[in-house]
């Protein structure tokens, strides 16, 4: 069950979702409990668990808002602007072709929050116990 501290961490890392009227605690808690907690391993992130959980929740919330509105939200766009139209307004973003935008990380590359999570995840690789065989 999402804690008040975890909800506050989401609002801290994603200031676009700081308005608790537009984004009630119950909405953020449902994302934390329903999706983010299942994707983030406490034993992997250890002392960074709440930060990783917050990035995952902000990523999911951003994708949900984007899907519902057809547009942005904090951290929604990743990459430089590739094209702009004026009527009706249309903005396209370029996403660099790299390891982060292909394979297992392609989903995370859809938001800035997802990319922050990938960076945090990759920074933890040195913390893993590897055994040479």
Phi, psi dihedrals of residue 84, rounded to the nearest 5°: -135, 135
CA distance 94 to 79: 5
Question: Number of structural domains, the chain?
Answer: 1
Tell whether 52 is covered by a domain: yes
> What's the mean pLDDT when you consider all of the chain?
79
Tell whether 100 is covered by a domain: no
User: 133: pLDDT confidence band, cut at 50, 70 and 90?
Assistant: very low
Domain that holds residue 11: 4-76+111-127
Higher local confidence (pLDDT), 107 or 75: 107
Q: What is the mean pLDDT of residues 57-68?
A: 88
Tell whether 93 is covered by a domain: no
Tell whether 38 is covered by a domain: yes
Residue 87 has pLDDT above 70, yes or no: yes
Tell whether 49 is covered by a domain: yes
């Amino acid at each position: 069950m999402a804690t008040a501290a975890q909800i506050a961490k989401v609002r801290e890392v994603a200031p676009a979702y700081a308005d608790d009227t537009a984004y009630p605690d119950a909405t953020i808690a449902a994302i934390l409990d329903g999706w983010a907690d299942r994707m983030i391993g406490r034993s992997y992130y250890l002392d960074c668990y709440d930060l990783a959980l917050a990035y995952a929740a902000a990523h999911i919330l951003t994708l949900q808002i984007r899907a519902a509105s057809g547009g942005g939200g904090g951290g929604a766009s990743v990459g430089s602007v590739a094209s702009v139209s004026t009527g009706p307004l249309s903005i396209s973003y370029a996403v660099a072709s790299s390891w982060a935008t292909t394979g297992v990380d392609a989903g995370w590359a859809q938001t800035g929050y997802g990319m922050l999570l990938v960076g945090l995840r990759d920074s933890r690789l040195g913390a893993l116990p590897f055994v040479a065989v």
